[in-house]
Amino acid sequence: MSRSGALYPWLYRHAIARVDAERTHELSFAALRRLYGVTGHLPGVIPPASGLSREVFGKRVASPLGLAAGFDKNAEGIDALAALGFGFIEVGTVTGQGQPGNPRPRLFRLPQDRAIVNRMGFNNEGSARVAARLAARASTRHTEVLLGVNIGKTKAVPAQEATADYVLSARRLAPYADYLVVNVSSPNTPGLRDLQAVASLRPLLAEVREAANAAAGREVPLLVKIAPDLADDDIAEIAALVPELSLAGIVATNTTISRTGLRTPPDTIEAIGAGGLSGPVLKERSLAVLALLREVLPAHAVIISVGGVSQAADVRERLALGATLVQAYTGLVHGGPLWVSRVTAALGADLDGSADR
């Protein structure tokens, strides 16, 4: 581990973990963007080994490890985040209308579990402003990185108007997306997870797909992001929509409402309150959902596996189980800015080792 990589755990324990989690995210993300804007690169980052690259959605990605939605909600730092070594970036969740999200505090670290609880509530500037930012990026020199855009429902929009809200965002954002994700699985927007019911989800996805393709003038790969808390039978029903509606695949999984298996004291968990839990505790269920999806989905369907990815072994395991790509979020927060380099370096070392055998 590099000296800077070894320093981060100490800083995390003695400084970062003592500051409000959301404020820390805002400051560190701003610093990352500023540093990249000045230097055009990030010190200490080792590019992924060439053998890790693959083609997905017709575009070459340098690594199968990408950044999950939630980190860059407003598409403000795509190129800086790509410079950390991620093979692809998913921005959002973006809603039809801008909204402040839930009251603060709404983001909490669980250091003993290397986990996070969030009840952000889709805080973002709205699809019109994010689309304008993506258009500006597209018109200037930028990094060629696979870009996903994750869209959700505006909280103030009633359930019967949810499809129109998603369609609005799809029309605005699809022209700039390499793939589009319909998020119906966050636990932090009231009633959102009800949209995972196939009777509601089928027409929603069909209309979003049609609107996205028309707006972009091309076939935009469309995926749906599901919750780990769904029963296996419900997951299989959603998976059946992939071939039926010509979807590109599924992102699995979002955060969980379960609190099972945590080391953090129960009184601390109770004091934090509601929200979606992410981190290693989600790994077992995420892997089970991945295995189920690979069994029931067509071979060509894309699965982006997310939930509990904290080291290179987690990426290897998911790829071996049939994931097309792997995403992380909490691993980066707890591991620091050079975490991506450490993971991809270990994956690259696997390639070198296999070549020697």
Asked whether residue 193 carries a pLDDT value surpassing 50, the answer given is: yes
Phi, psi angles (nearest 5°) of residue 207: -70, -40
pLDDT, tens digit (0-9, with 9 covering 90-100), for 202-231? 999 999 999 999 999 999 999 999 999 999
**What pLDDT does residue 19 have?**
73
Q: Which residue has the higher pLDDT, 28 or 4?
A: 28
Whole-angstrom distance, CA of residue 26 vs CA of residue 19? 11
pLDDT of residue 355 exceeding 90, the answer is no
- Segment 7-38, tens digit of pLDDT: 445 444 544 556 799 999 999 999 999 999 99
Q: Are 225 and 252 in contact (CB under 8 A)?
A: yes
Fold of 3-356: TIM Barrel (3.20.20)
Active site residues per annotation: 186
Label residue 350 by pLDDT band (50, 70, 90): confident
* pTM listed for this prediction: 0.93
Given the structure tokens 């581990």, which residue do they identify? 1
Answer whether 235's CB lies under 8 Å from 196's CB: no
| Burial of 190 per CB tally in 10 Å (0-12, 13-18, 19+) | exposed
pLDDT at position 357 is 37
Interhelix angle 283-296/312-320, rounded to 10 degrees, is: 20
pLDDT single digits (tens) 118-176: 999 999 999 999 999 999 999 999 999 999 999 999 999 999 999 999 999 999 999 99
Q: What is the pLDDT of residue 6?
A: 52
